[in-house]
């Protein structure tokens, strides 16, 4: 059966959050021809014959601990300028259909279920979603809020790892678009190996770190020593609230700093600060201050300012990854997919420079084309 004759599931962890809502509404808009697929690399010419599931064939569901319906969530995003005016009404039926497929996540305060019971319940939700909708496969994508790194020796798995374990048990390819632990815990390594499923992650590269991954190679290639690289993020919304927790912010910043260390050869002086500014809503401002040396030790500075909406930046990438992992699964590919490092701050292997990552992604598209 060809990729064009089947439907593919996309199961979001954090299905009522800003990124998942934007991706669900945006997919419906692109499929209906209401808006172009700006930001979707998989909709560019090199991917045209790679056998990716069509945008119109994607079916959405997910887990969340929130109860705000997707149509209402989309209206809030439109009021904040994240979604175009009128789009929530235009795709209301698609949003309502996706919302009907969202199941309660966890563990919530007071939840007495064990890790095994939670994984079993989450996996059953995935299996039921795939079966009822007659889907060829379902890709699980974690877009939930960043969680703190687990405490060494903790008895319980972090929530992101419970969902990842459920994906393995249900036979679903998995994407971790967050800095949270997900599959990267010793407790799941045996299951990862036995599952023989394609997976990708970790921590999507959307704004400030995307710019860092472009600029850092420039300094290396021009032999310009970087003395210090500092940054500040001002953001609101759910991410701002989640990252107000110092432990969650530390997990997030680790990826931003890793990009510089991997590219420059060592971590330069300087830190990234994250400030929660609720008035900004789903919008953010990221500022970087880069101190570097020129010829004969001339001291120079480059400053950058990035203003944008993480949800609008992340949503097309999430759709790309769901389609690429679905196609990889169809082609029988397994294990971590380093070719998808283009999308991540902390990828599963592959080169650190964005330009090299893009070439690796194009090679992957060519490979998928040959797997038909």
Residue 255: the pLDDT is 65
- pLDDT band for position 61 (cuts 50, 70, 90): very high
Cβ partners under 8 Å of residue 106, min gap 6: 65, 113, 118, 159
In tens, the pLDDT along 138-193 reads: 999 999 998 988 888 888 999 999 999 999 999 999 999 999 999 999 999 999 99
Residue 339 burial (CB count, 10 A)? 24
C-alpha–C-alpha distance, residues 367 and 277, integer Å: 44
Mean pLDDT, range 26-33, rounded to an integer: 98
Is the preceding omega at residue 226 within 30 degrees of 0, hence cis? Answer: no
Confidence of residue 4 (pLDDT cuts 50, 70, 90): very low
């Amino acid at each position: 059966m060809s990729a064009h004759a089947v439907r593919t599931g996309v199961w979001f962890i954090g299905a009522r959050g800003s990124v998942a809502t934007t991706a669900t509404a945006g997919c419906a808009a692109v499929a209906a021809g209401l808006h172009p697929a700006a930001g979707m690399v998989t909709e560019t010419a090199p991917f045209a014959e790679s056998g990716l599931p069509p945008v119109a064939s994607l079916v959405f569901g997910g887990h969340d601990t929130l109860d705000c319906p997707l149509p209402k969530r989309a209206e809030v995003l439109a009021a904040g300028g994240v979604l175009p005016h009128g789009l929530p009404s235009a795709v209301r039926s698609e949003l309502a259909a996706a919302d009907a497929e969202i199941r309660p996540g966890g563990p919530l305060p007071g939840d007495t279920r064990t890790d095994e019971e939670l994984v079993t319940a989450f996996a059953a939700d995935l299996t039921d979603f795939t079966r009822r909708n007659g889907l060829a496969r379902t890709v699980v994508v974690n877009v939930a809020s960043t969680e703190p790194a687990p405490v060494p020796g903790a008895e319980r798995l972090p929530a992101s790892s419970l969902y990842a374990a459920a994906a393995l048990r249900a036979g679903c390819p998995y994407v971790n678009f967050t800095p949270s632990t997900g599959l990267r815990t010793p407790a799941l390594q045996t299951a990862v190996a036995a599952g023989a499923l394609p997976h990708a992650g970790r921590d999507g590269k959307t704004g400030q770190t995307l710019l860092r991954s472009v600029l850092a190679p420039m300094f290396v290639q021009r032999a310009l020593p970087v003395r210090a690289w500092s940054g500040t993020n001002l953001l609101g919304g759910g991410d701002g609230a989640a990252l107000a927790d110092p432990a969650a912010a530390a997990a997030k910043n680790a990826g931003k700093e890793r990009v510089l260390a991997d590219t420059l050869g060592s971590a330069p002086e300087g830190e990234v600060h994250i400030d929660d500014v609720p008035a900004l809503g789903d919008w953010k401002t990221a500022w970087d201050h880069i101190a570097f040396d020129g010829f004969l030790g001339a001291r120079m500075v480059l400053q950058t300012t990035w203003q944008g909406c993480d949800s609008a930046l992340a949503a097309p990438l999430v759709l790309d990854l769901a389609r690429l992992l679905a196609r990889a699964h169809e082609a029988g590919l397994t294990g971590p997919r380093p070719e998808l490092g283009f999308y991540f701050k902390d990828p599963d292997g592959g080169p650190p420079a964005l330009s090299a990552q893009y070439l690796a992604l194009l090679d992957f598209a060519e490979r998928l084309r040959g797997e038909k």
